[in-house]
Homo-oligomer: A and B are copies of this chain.
């Protein structure tokens, strides 16, 4: 469904958010250990999140990553997905015709439409904070 990068991006953001909730800044090492992702690759992911102003990065000793309360509240899952995978998931569903529209639909169009819209709606209404809270409360997990 999502690219590996996007999956790591979501996990990393949520891990950072859950820690920022508690006032803790976290390092690349922390993150890649706790979300079970390759360290060097995760560094790239974090750079991208940082450039997209989803998280904040601080260099130097006792540096690391954090996310502002404002961002946690305002940013949605859709923002992260968009940063990594673009809006493909909203457009090129089904069998990937170049231009999709209702007036010249592909055979699976009507069947996929609802699902696609439900997914879109879910991503656009779920905030980082919503998801991070479950982590903080120990109700959900980022690795097994």
Contacts and interface: CB of A to CB of B under 8 A. Distances in A.
Contact of A131 (B4, B93, B97, B107): B107
A7 B96 contact: yes
A66 B139 CA distance: 52
Given A115-B118, A115-B119, A107 B135 contact: yes
Nearest 3 A-B pairs (CB), nearest first? A107-B131, A107-B140, A7-B95
Interface of A: 1-2, 4, 7, 10-11, 14, 77, 89, 92-99, 104-109, 111-112, 114-115, 118-119, 122, 126, 131-132, 134-135, 139-144
27 contacts: A1-B93, A2-B95, A2-B96, A4-B96, A7-B94, A7-B95, A7-B96, A11-B95, A14-B107, A77-B108, A97-B143, A97-B144, A104-B144, A105-B140, A105-B141, A106-B141, A106-B142, A107-B140, A107-B142, A108-B126, A108-B131, A111-B126, A112-B122, A114-B118, A115-B115, A115-B118, A115-B122
